[in-house]
Amino acid sequence: MAKEITNRSEDYSQWYIDIVKKANLADNSAVRGCMVIKPYGFGIWENMRDQLDRMFKDTGHVNAYFPLFIPKSFLSREAEHVEGFAKECAVVTHHRLMNAPDGSGVVVDPEAKLEEELIVRPTSETIIWHTYKDWINSYRDLPLLINQWANVVRWEMRTRLFLRTAEFLWQEGHTAHATRQEAEEETLKILDVYATFAEEYMAMPVIKGIKTANERFAGAEETYCIEALMQDGKALQAGTSHFLGQNFAKAFDVKFLNENNQEEYVWATSWGVSTRLMGGLIMTHSDDQGLVLPPKLAPTQVVIVPIPKPAPEIDEVAEKIMRELKDLGISVSYDTDMRKRPGFKFAEHEMRGIPVRLGIGKRDLEKGVVEVARRDTKEKASQPLEGIAAHVQQLLTDIQQNLFDRAAAFRAEKTVKVDSFDDFKAVLDQDIPGFISAHWDGTTETELKIKELTKATIRCIPLDAEEEEGKCILTGKPSSQRVLFAKAY
């Protein structure tokens, strides 16, 4: 079988695009920057979404749905917010098409101009806080713990499937609280949900941290994030949780009567993860043979391949194994396609990242064994038919753990402490740079200068950073803790 995808060592970006396309995850569409998420890719996203949704509900959140459109004037209410989003938004100006008077086709009807332009939501703080004004009167109405699964649009100039697209799917939580403390706790609670999801389901280790003022969400008092390290040594911001203070409550005049009958502005948070996580999943685990999926998110966890093709005695065993696996809650399929040879099928299932493959041949059956191949290590072994379902169940657990351990070991190897700007640049010049833990003087000026000189940005101030006296790698000014730098997606 012809080599289908570029090697990572040759061209990581091309490898990524090859995986996304050849594993049937997504494709570009006829609309600039917008993607089509194909059924297989969408199946993985559904698993991620459903698990996150359970975790949000387990922490007391409910779902709702707010309008796609935001009146232009709403964006302007919060000064930093409009600054952050006005430059890249899709604007609806008309509500009708007509046949061109000259017969040249269909054109916008100039008489169907909207009184006020509508923005396709880039994020929903403004329309939601406008709504909350009607919903919140008293402390009895609080907290509001609402999430929405939706599509949003940001008119990005440079797009990349899943990682940065003009339209993407996400969830956005928008909560309202009576006190600063409660809102801050919510912000951190969600950060923990995101970190748990990333590590336990995606098998993707993450650093929890705080963004610098410069990287903060437009309109937030504090932005918390989880940051992951991709195989090419670049960081990926995988989720953010914002403490919004009273900024949006003030912008939309949302007050409540507290228990002492006094009016106060409401405290807010917002938080989101998106289809960008699909990019993180791919770039954390996959290899030169294709996608590698953690078992907990794989739409198909086990595939059975008859060798060399279906036959009554093989089908019988396969069906028995399928029943046993399904009883254990394991998703399994039996590849009965007569037109393809086993080797071709193996390559296909590797490309799709199916965690475990069972090969069943007649000679194996005579010996009472099947061949078990794991996708993560590519190890193969003969395994007794007796007890095969329990073996596969344990193997899926092992694979999930191994993927996490491997990614954690990679990150540990690629995280270095650096104390001079020369060393800093030397690390960034490596093929696979990674995270750099270094001192910084705390100013936006220095942060931007370092970015200009090296393209590296401060990913976060880790929540578990220890106090340590040191000097800024660029300016030599005093610093009390290290921050995490990296080149990033």
**Residues engaged in binding its own copies (CB under 8 A):** 27, 29-31, 34-39, 42-43, 46, 62-76, 82, 86-98, 105-106, 108, 117-120, 127, 130-131, 134, 140, 146, 150-151, 153, 155, 167, 169, 339
* DSSP H or E segment with residue 58: helix 39-58
Q: How far is the CB of 23 from its own copies (least distance, A)?
A: 14
Nearer to its own copies, 86 or 408 (CB): 86
Nearer to its own copies, 87 or 363 (CB): 87
Nearer to its own copies, 168 or 485 (CB): 168
Concatenating the DSSP letter of every residue in 162-208 gives TTB-SEEEEEEEEEEESSHHHHHHHHHHHHHHHHHHHHHTS----EE
Say if CB 264 and CB 256 are below 8 A apart.
yes
Q: How far is the CB of 43 from its own copies (least distance, A)?
A: 7
Q: How far is the CB of 250 from its own copies (least distance, A)?
A: 18
Burial tier of 470 (Cβ tally within 10 Å: 0-12, 13-18, 19+): middle
Q: How far is the CB of 91 from its own copies (least distance, A)?
A: 4
Q: How far is the CB of 447 from its own copies (least distance, A)?
A: 26
- Type of residue found at 441: D
Nearer to its own copies, 256 or 435 (CB): 256
Q: Count how many residues are written for the chain.
A: 489
C-alpha distances (whole Å) from 42 to each of 19, 329, 352 are 15, 21, 13
Question: Given the structure tokens 């069943």, which residue do they identify?
Answer: 360
Residues 6+ apart with CB under 8 A from 22: 4, 5, 290, 351
Nearer to its own copies, 28 or 179 (CB): 28
Q: How far is the CB of 206 from its own copies (least distance, A)?
A: 25
Q: How far is the CB of 487 from its own copies (least distance, A)?
A: 28
Nearer to its own copies, 93 or 480 (CB): 93
Q: Which two tokens stand for residue 94?
A: 């008309």
**Residue ranges of the alpha helices (H) in 352-437?**
362-367, 388-413, 421-428
Nearer to its own copies, 84 or 359 (CB): 84
Beta-strand relationship, 332-334 and 302-307? parallel
Residue 365 DSSP label: H
- Spatial distance between the Cα atoms of 461 and 483, rounded to a whole number of angstroms: 5
Residue of 175, 157, 151 whose CA lies nearest to 274: 151
Q: How far is the CB of 95 from its own copies (least distance, A)?
A: 4
* Neighbour tally for 477: CB within 10 Å: 13
Residue of 72, 342, 80 whose CA lies nearest to 220: 80
Nearer to its own copies, 43 or 342 (CB): 43
Nearer to its own copies, 339 or 363 (CB): 339
Nearer to its own copies, 233 or 299 (CB): 299
Q: How far is the CB of 41 from its own copies (least distance, A)?
A: 8
Beta-strand relationship, 302-307 and 356-361? parallel
Question: Given the structure tokens 């609402």, which residue do they identify?
Answer: 146
Q: How far is the CB of 332 from its own copies (least distance, A)?
A: 16
Residues 6+ apart with CB under 8 A from 215: 223, 457, 458
- Spatial distance between the Cα atoms of 40 and 438, rounded to a whole number of angstroms: 41
